[in-house]
Every structure is written in C-alpha cells, then in structure tokens.
Chain A
Amino acid sequence: MDVVDRENTRRFATDFSRRAFLAGTGAAGLSLLAACGASGGGTQSGAGTKNALGLKLPDGAAVASQQMYITPNDSTGATYKALDFYETVYSRAPLADQFNVPLVRITPNFNIVPGAATSWKQSTDGLTWTFSIRPGIMWTDGRELTAADYVETLRYSADPKHAWDFTWYWTGVIKNYAEAVLGSMPTSSIGVKQGANKYSLEITTESPIAYMPNACLYTQPLSAAALSKYGSGSYNINPSTCVSCGPYVLKQFEPTSQIVLGPNTKYTAPFKPPIEWQVGRIYAGGDMLPRFETGQIDEVNVTPLDLKIAQRSSKLKSLHLYKNPNDFEIWYTFFDVTKEPWNNEKVRQAFAHSVDRNAIISSLLNPLAIPAYGYLMPGYPFAVTDPLVPYTNYDVSKAKQLLSDAGYPGGKGFPAVTFYWREVAAANSEAVVQALAANWNKVLGVNVQLQELDTTTFYNRMNAKPTQIPMGFVSYGMDYFDASNMLSVYKGGGRHNWDNSQYDSLLAQGASESNTAERQKIYTEAQVLLTQQAPAVFVFHLLYGYFYWPYIKGAALNKDKDGYDGIEWPGFGPGTTSMTELYVGDNVSKYTRQKVNGVV
C-alpha cells in the first residue's frame, strides 16, 4: 500500500521499445499460415469473402477472422458501471453503446445522417419533431426495434429512482422532463411518445429547438422489453442477458482487464461493419506507448511527449500522426467574477492580454494544440476566431495599461492570488499552469501562486455554489455538435458565476433560431461578448493525436474537410459512419499482434 498514488493522474514509467519486431519470423509464419489457410486460397486476403455479419469484405482486407479491433483504455479515475448511455453517462465502460442503433448517425464531417430514423421533420409550431423509424431492425431477442423502445428508454432516464447522471441534457428541452426528474409528474408525461404508428416517434419540446437532430445522436435505445424485465439497463453487462440490435453482442465483461464484443449474427440494420470483434483492453494506468509498440493494441492516443519518444524508436517514427479535435476541448482559466480582484473587468482583460499562447503551445503542446481566443474551437459549429482576437491577443503594453487602469499600476497593490489546477497529462497541465503563472507574474508584476488539487476536490470546490475556487484551470469538451452546447457552459447559473443577461438572451435566441445565417450572427455576438468581458482567459484547444498500426485501414481514417484525420468524435460505434468504414488490412501478417485471451 503506497502512501500516495501519483499514477492516478499522471503517466508513469514511459518506456522505449527498441524491440525488433519479428519481421523475419513473420515471413516464416506467413507461409505457415498460408499453408493452413486453405479457404484463403494461399493468400491472407479476405477481400470479397463475407464476415460473420454478412458483409463482403473490401479490397485489401484481411480474412474475416483477423477483423478484430483492439483499443486501449485507462481505467484510473474511471468507473465502469454499464455499457449504455441511458444507464449512466459518466460511468460507462469502454466499448459502450454498441448494442443499439440511435435515431441519427454522424459523419467525420459532423453531418447528421439517418440512423434508425430514415427521416425527421419539425412541426410548423416548431415544438414537435417526428422521426420515422426504419422497419425491420431486430433485437437479438426476436423483437423489432420500434418507437416504444425510444419512449421507454427516455422515460427511464427521467425516473427519479433511476437517478440518471445526465438529466441536465434533456432538462428544458423535452417537455415536462424536468418535472418528471423532480418527481412532480410521472415519467409517462414527458414529451416523448409513439406517433401515428409504431415506427413513428414524436418528441415534443419546451420551446422550438433547432438543433434537435444533432441532440438526437444521444438516443441509443435500451430494449423496452429487457428494460421492463430486468428493471434497469444493467442486463447489457452480462453476456447471457445482453440484448442488442446493433452490430455487436457482448462476449466478455471484465472491467479490470478487458471487454470483448463479438459479431451480432442476427444484425439486420443496413450499417454493417467489416470489423467482427472489438476488444477493449483495460489498464489501470501505466504507459500505453510500449503496449502499442509490442502489439497489445491497434491504436494509441499520444501526447506531445510520446511523439518525442516515438521519434527515437525505429518502429514508431515512420508512423503517421493522426490528429483531430475529438470533443473540441477548450482549456481555460476561469475567475470567480464575484470576488476581488476578479470582479474588476479590467483586471480580467489585463490577464487575458498577457498570455503568450503561441510560446506556451510551441514549447509545451506542439503539435497537439491550437491557440484559443474564445470558447469554441475552429471547426465547431458557429465558431469564430478573427472577431475575438483583438479582445484577448498577447499585447504586453495593453495588458499593463489595463491593470494600471484597474488601480494596480505595475502590479502594485494587487493581492497575491492562488491559481488552482489539477493534473491532466494529455494537456500537460502541470507545465502549462506554471508557464501561465510565470507569464502573468512577469508581464503584470503580480503574484500568482499555484495550488494543485486532486480531481474530486477540484470539481467539488469548483461546482460548489458559491464556488470555492477563485481562479482555476479547467477544460470543457462538447456533449453534442452545436454551439448551444458549449456556449451554455457560461450561461447564468451554470458552471461558472459570470451572470450576463445579454449573453443569456443571445443563447436563448440562438437555440430557437432555425435560419443558419441568423444563428451565426447571434452566436458570433455571444462569443465576442464572452471573450471581451473575459470571465475566463482562453488558452488553447486540444488536438488528439493517434497512432494506428498501418494494418488499420479504411475511409474512417481519412482527412475530413478541415484536414483532420483518424477516427473522430464520438468514436467507433453505431452512432458514426466510421464504423462501417474501418477494416483490418491484409498487411496485418507483417505485424506482431498479441493474442487476446478469451476470444474465439
């Protein structure tokens, strides 16, 4: 029992693997496998043959038995309670949400395309959305996927006894949802019901919601029959009771070592993936890069430091670095604007103008971050940059002037302030906060002191009302792909205590506006207001970097319209089109891939 765990928040013994891959023996193995693989016709190619889901494998694909996708997961600080969004959001295990078909799916360019719903339309009063569900999608228990499954799932989510951890998502959106969660109305009164027939789903909202199809990415249904039989969504963590209408079924659930999904041979929806098996390897910390290098996993999420290490490895240095914004994170320093000295707008602006974002990024985060001038990352809906830059750019003389105007010339009389942070290795937060503090102390002549906290304490103090953190370093990543989501974090009464009625009314207008050009105008105004008033100093947007072994192939990895590549948010699964466009190439035989225990 060690006294203290450093590991919980920090990557550990990084590891350099100079291990020569068994290229030579691989060649010997190739001929051996070819001799055994009679059906393969002397090659390792599975092109044209059908996999267990009945899909003809694409050109260049390996045989069906090799169509396995093995991903790493770090369980430190995580809780693995369920495999379904509507059972729990924050405690989902790896490979969650694979046993269903959500109403809509998303492409790597973040377009919403049909999923279980073939079409949808908004009523003339704007208050009701009607989704037409594709007939013939079957659950593994032989029942058909209908509107009732969605209705029961959403009602279950509002049940106070279920105490779902994501109720805020539909609160104020679906009619009567808040009342149901409070327990003042039955869950059957929420605005979700079957429409004209069992393939028609009607969702009634509190006010017109323009972004409803985007929000409906989170409509991964539980089976209504199984839900009523077992009373919760936890039937899906047991291979013998798992009920799926998605492409996969549960084969093994070991939250401390691995989760294995196999093909749903009764899969009937039209979105068939080439990948037959998914394996989520689970590690309680430790360094992922050597595990990737020794062939335990097919992909790895890399940090800027990992990239430097990979440069020294003959095996890794030639790999392509895939980069994408994942959940469009913003990393920023927030202030408690109700307290001295942060209640002075000029002080906040002085701090905003004295951050040398480019220097911080190029030394500490390159190439996995871009400078942030507002809450929304470029590429995210309605995000703007240029109109924001003048309000927060690095301008030493302006910053000094502002601080002087605020009554603290040259930092004189400015109280010593404490800057709270928590360790997040991916964002190199320990180095970044030190650079920020040094930056402020040097430019403004103030005294910013650092204070680290453990994650639970940090969030507990930040989320307390009133907040107990006067100045802290945090991030936020999107929940759904619309400006209304990220911008609402700064809504009055939300995460932070900057309360601006003008901002709130802009957000309300934006949410119900259906004209795109108008929405852009509204959201641009809101972003400018937020940056200009500086309740926070926006520092950087994080990019996620990935290595994939070259045998992981397919259009899912290709560059999107913004030039980003790799598997993008929300990852591999029935809610994305990338699921059908990823396969294991026939060059897999040239690589060492460690066996997975317990997989047929």
Chain B
Amino acid sequence: MLSYLAQRFLTLIIVMIVVTMIIFGLMHAVPGGPFSQTQQPLPAFAMRNIEVKYGLNQPIWLQYLKWVWAALHGDFGIPFEEPTETVTQLISKAWPVTLAVGAWTIVISYVGGIALGLISAIRQNTWIDWVLTSFATTGIALPNYVVGFLLIVVFAVTLGWLPTGGWGQPQDLILPVIAFALNPMALCARYTRASALEVTHADYVQMGRARGLSEWRINLNYVLRTALIPLITILGPNIPNLLTGSIFIEATFALPGLGSYFTTAILRRDYPMIMCLVLIVAVLWGTCYILSDVAYTLVDPRIRLAGASR
C-alpha cells in the first residue's frame, strides 16, 4: 500500500507539471490579456510599456520557466486583479472563509444526505421514499442562487432572524451553508438510495438475514459498506468542489471568499492567479482521487488496486 501511495503521489507531481504547462499555454492562447479591457484601444506604444513592465512581451516558454522558478521558491506573483497583495496573501485571506462554509456544508450535506438516502432505500417505494426522492430531485433541479434568494427573502427580510449577508459573525454562516448544502445533500441522498438498493437484495445480505442478524446491523454492516463505493466515487470529488467555494453563494451572501476567483481570474485573464488556483485544484483533486482509491480498499477489502492486471 505504501509503495502504491508513493507511486501515485509521484505520478501526481508529473501530472501537475504537465497540467501547468497546458494551462500556461492555454491561458495565453485565449484571446485578450489582463490589460485589454479598456474602452479605448490603448495606443500601441502604451500597450508595449505595460507588457514590458509585466514581462508579458517575453516568449511564453521563458515566462513559464520564470513562473516555475518563482513558484518553487514560494513566490506565486502578484495578481492583476487585486494587485495590492501577493497571490499567496490574497488566497490565505479568502480561502478560510470558503473553507469554513465548505466544511460545514460537507458535514451537513453528507450526514443528512446519507441518512435520507438510507431511509429512502429501506422504505423503498413507499410514500416516504417518494417524498424524499421528490425533495432530493428538487434540490438538484434548483440552482443554489435561487435557493439563496429564497432563504434571504424568508429568513433575512421577512422574518428578520438572520443577516442578508456579510462575514464576521457565526450567524453569517447559516444561510450560505443551507443554500450551498441543499444540492450536495440531495445528490448524496440519491446515490445512497441507489447503491443501497443494489445490495439490500444481494445474496450475502439475504444470507445475513437468514442467519438472524438484526435488521439495523445488516443495514449498517452490509448495506452501507457496499453502498459507500459509488458515494466515494461521486461524492469524494465533490469535497474539493465544496472546499473551493461557489461564486453564486459568495455573491448572493456577500462572502469575501475564494470561490469567485476561479471564474473572475479567468475572465480577467489574471495569469498569476489562474496558475495558483490551478495548483490548488490540482493538489486537492489529485489527492482526492488517490484517497478515494485507497478508500475503496478500506471499505471493501476484496478490491485490489495495484498490479491488478489480468
């Protein structure tokens, strides 16, 4: 297992190098640069001065190598979007907000979603199942900014219980987390139901019943265990997703988080910011994929990963 992990992390680093190359080329290939949003076309000489100042006149490969060299020294540059801080400062300020919202969202949506999904599966094709399925589907079909809007209307404006948005007090978390959690919770419930049903009728579960194991023990030991495989596959990558935030949630609730930068950096062609965010994404997702593969073997020891070729 250890050598397997070492091999995976090593390949992850190689993948990351390839990905940064791809992104670096890609973002320069996309039309427009960080300074092409002016109303009037900048005179050519003025544009040149700007390009020289930011080193954008150099060949791409040289810019890339310079970026790699600086990044290896922990210097990710200064974002064009918020140039009064370094990329590192900006991210270290914005990410904690996103992480706080994301962590609560993960806890609530996964615990709630798995519980609802199991209930749905155990009470399959009863009215409880149908109500829960309808709820879950609505949760999937409603965009989270609409949910956020409705929450603000009900709880902030009409009832006046919670703030319309902002950051700093604990109650600022409540509405964003609910709005953010609804969709993953619904997803979680749907997958739990589907995979739980795959196994409730399987032979070994029936065998367990025959052996006189109590129903809850069967549900917990057999059903949940196997049901976890698709949960890990699909909901695992949802964790980095939730930890990097949502521009919609952040805009609706005026949260100074990181989520919006994933979009604005690209739209603004903010090269240093794009590169740093890509690294974050790469590390998070790469690790997540490795961990989910490891988790398969923990959940179901029959699963073999490395050298399983036949």
Contacts and interface: CB of A to CB of B under 8 A. Distances in A.
Is any CB of A less than 8 Å from a CB of B in the complex? yes
> Interface range on chain B: under 10, 10 to 19, 20 to 34, or 35 or more?
35 or more
B259 A181 contact: no
B278 to A, nearest CB: 11
A460 B256 CA distance: 29
A118 B166 CA distance: 45
Nearest to A286: B251
A17 B163 CA distance: 12
Given A13-B148, A15-B157, A80 B246 contact: no
Contacts of A163: 46, 49-50, 52-53
A457 B32 contact: yes
Contacts of A20: 160
Contacts of B94: 256
Interface stretch (B130-138, B207-215, B223-231, B264-272): B264-272
Contacts of B260: 5, 7, 76, 284-285
B146 to A, nearest CB: 7
Nearest to B40: A495
B24 interface: no
Contacts of B83: 79-81, 91
B262 interface: yes
Contact of B252 (A12, A91, A296): A12
Contacts of B296: none
Interface stretch (A165-173, A204-212, A299-307): A165-173
Given A76-B264, A80-B82, A290-B157, A2 B259 contact: yes
B144 to A, nearest CB: 9
A102 to B, nearest CB: 22
B231 to A, nearest CB: 20
A419 B84 CA distance: 38
A20 B168 CA distance: 24
A80 B78 CA distance: 12
A141 interface: no
Most chain A C-beta atoms within 10 Å of own C-beta, residue among B38, B42, B49, B268: B49
A463 B41 contact: yes
Contact of A5 (B35, B38, B39, B263): B263
Contact of A2 (B43, B160, B248): B248
Interface string A432-475: 00000000000000000000001111011101010000000000
B5 interface: no
Most chain B C-beta atoms within 10 Å of own C-beta, residue among A5, A13, A161, A494: A13
A146 B153 CA distance: 55
B168 A168 contact: no
Nearest to A89: B38
Given A79-B82, A163-B49, A285-B260, A597 B32 contact: no
Contacts of B156: 19, 290, 294
Given A1-B241, A1-B281, A459 B251 contact: no
Interface residues of A, number: 67
B236 interface: no
Given A165-B42, A253-B84, A457-B32, A8 B52 contact: no
Contacts of A285: 247, 250-251, 260
B262 A160 contact: no
Contacts of A237: 84
Given A460-B36, A461-B31, A165 B46 contact: yes
A183 B49 CA distance: 9
Given A19-B160, A165-B35, A167-B46, A4 B263 contact: yes
A477 B245 CA distance: 36
B67 interface: no
B254 interface: yes
A209 B167 CA distance: 51
Contacts of B164: 15, 17, 290-291, 294
Contacts of B264: 5, 8, 76-77, 284
A591 interface: no
A12 to B, nearest CB: 6
Contacts of A256: 82, 90, 93-94, 256
Contact of A8 (B45, B157, B244, B263): B263
Contacts of B112: none
B80 interface: yes
B36 A80 contact: no
Contacts of B50: 163, 165
Contacts of B245: 1
Most chain B C-beta atoms within 10 Å of own C-beta, residue among A81, A167, A178, A256: A256
A459 B53 contact: no
Given A1-B244, A5-B264, A19-B160, A284 B281 contact: no
A8 B53 contact: no
Contacts of A13: 145-146, 148-149, 152, 252
Nearest to B270: A79
Given A1-B262, A5-B260, A495-B41, A290 B32 contact: no
Contacts of B256: 256-257, 284
Contacts of A465: 41
B77 interface: no
B170 to A, nearest CB: 15
B37 interface: yes
Interface in A69-119: 76-77, 79-82, 90-91
30 contacts: A1-B259, A2-B247, A2-B259, A5-B264, A8-B247, A8-B267, A12-B149, A15-B164, A17-B164, A19-B160, A20-B160, A77-B37, A77-B268, A81-B83, A162-B53, A163-B50, A165-B35, A181-B46, A234-B84, A255-B85, A256-B82, A256-B90, A291-B165, A294-B164, A456-B36, A456-B269, A459-B38, A461-B31, A463-B40, A494-B40
Closest CB pairs A-B (n = 8): A13-B149, A285-B251, A5-B263, A460-B32, A463-B41, A163-B49, A456-B32, A163-B53
Interface of B: 31-33, 35-43, 45-46, 49-50, 52-53, 80-85, 90, 93-94, 145-146, 148-149, 152-153, 156-158, 160, 164-168, 241, 244-248, 250-254, 256, 259-260, 262-264, 267-269, 281
Interface of A: 1-2, 4-8, 12-20, 76-77, 79-82, 90-91, 160-165, 167-168, 171, 178, 181-183, 234, 237, 253, 255-257, 283-287, 290-291, 294, 296, 454-457, 459-461, 463, 465, 476-477, 489, 494-495, 597
Given A77-B264, A494-B40, 13 more contacts: A1-B246, A5-B267, A8-B247, A8-B264, A163-B52, A256-B82, A257-B167, A290-B152, A294-B156, A294-B157, A456-B32, A456-B267, A460-B33
